[in-house]
């Protein structure tokens, strides 16, 4: 996804609602995809995207033109998702609708593998979930993930390793049932 031109950013900074509407229309789909994958709840993802663009509007004067707009937007969406995940973390377990038995092969046949993996991410700590979502589901480079989350490359790599290990273990547990 390419970044918006400096004109649309500058016009939005100067209060041009039409320019900002174009900005929102151009990037809301990408913001929504990230939030939906991270949160696993379409309605909640929509709320996060709406809140993210409210923050963009309020804080556009703080945006550093030297950085990519998409990185700035993804960092806002990511922080909002992490906040929501932390709030509901104590309640997050495996989805109660998850089948308790049956061989994993038939479950994969019945469900999309990506859907299963996204469900398994729900039990991860918020930072691991965001790192996994940005790197493995959104296919962003490690350095970009680190920039978005305001973490070091080493921290992102460690959290990604932990997330993948946890998901692998949970897949094995499901397979053994």
Q: pLDDT-based confidence at 95, cuts 50/70/90?
A: very low
Side-chain half-sphere of 129: how many Cα atoms within 13 Å? 27
In the chain, residues under CATH classification 1.10.10.10 are 92-177
C-alpha 96: how far from chain center: 23
In the chain, residues under CATH classification 1.10.1740.10 are 1-90
Q: What is the pLDDT of residue 101?
A: 41
pLDDT at 99 over 90: no
Q: What is the pLDDT of residue 89?
A: 58
C-alpha 89: how far from chain center: 16
pLDDT at 110 over 60: no
Q: pLDDT-based confidence at 52, cuts 50/70/90?
A: very high
Q: What is the pLDDT of residue 118?
A: 78
Q: What is the pLDDT of residue 92?
A: 39
Q: Which two tokens stand for residue 28?
A: 């809301």
Q: pLDDT-based confidence at 57, cuts 50/70/90?
A: very high
pLDDT at 114 over 70: no
- Judge whether 48 and 88 are in contact, CB under 8 Å: no
Provide CATH code, domain 92-177: 1.10.10.10
Q: Which two tokens stand for residue 69?
A: 């707009």
Greater confidence (162 vs 96) lies with 162
Domain 1-90 has CATH 1.10.1740.10: yes
Residues 6+ away with beta carbon under 8 Å from 177: 100, 101, 102, 104
pLDDT at 137 over 60: yes
- Judge whether 146 and 153 are in contact, CB under 8 Å: yes
Helix H segments across 14-112? 17-39, 42-59, 69-88, 104-110
Greater confidence (111 vs 25) lies with 25
Distance separating alpha carbons of residues 139 and 173, to the nearest angstrom: 26
Distance separating alpha carbons of residues 157 and 154, to the nearest angstrom: 5
- Average pLDDT (62-77) is 89
Q: What is the pLDDT of residue 58?
A: 92
Q: Which two tokens stand for residue 93?
A: 């377990």
Q: If 0-12 CB within 10 Å is exposed, 13-18 middle and 19+ buried, where does residue 3 land? A: middle
């Amino acid at each position: 996804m390419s970044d918006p031109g400096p004109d649309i950013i500058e016009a939005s900074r100067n209060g041009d609602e039409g320019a900002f509407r174009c900005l929102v229309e151009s990037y809301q789909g990408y913001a929504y995809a990230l939030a939906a994958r991270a949160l696993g709840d379409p309605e909640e993802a929509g709320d996060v995207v709406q809140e993210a663009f409210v923050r963009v509007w309020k804080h556009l004067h703080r945006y550093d033109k030297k950085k990519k707009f998409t990185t700035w937007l993804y960092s806002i969406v990511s922080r909002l998702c992490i906040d929501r995940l932390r709030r509901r973390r104590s309640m997050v377990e495996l989805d109660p609708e998850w089948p308790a038995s049956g061989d994993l092969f038939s479950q994969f046949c019945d469900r999309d593998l990506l859907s299963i993996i996204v469900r398994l991410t729900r039990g991860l700590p918020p930072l691991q979930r965001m790192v996994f979502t940005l790197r493995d589901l959104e296919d962003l480079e490690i350095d970009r993930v680190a920039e978005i989350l305001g973490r070091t490359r080493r921290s992102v790599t460690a959290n990604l390793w932990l997330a993948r290990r946890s998901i692998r273990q949970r897949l094995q547990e499901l397979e053994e049932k």
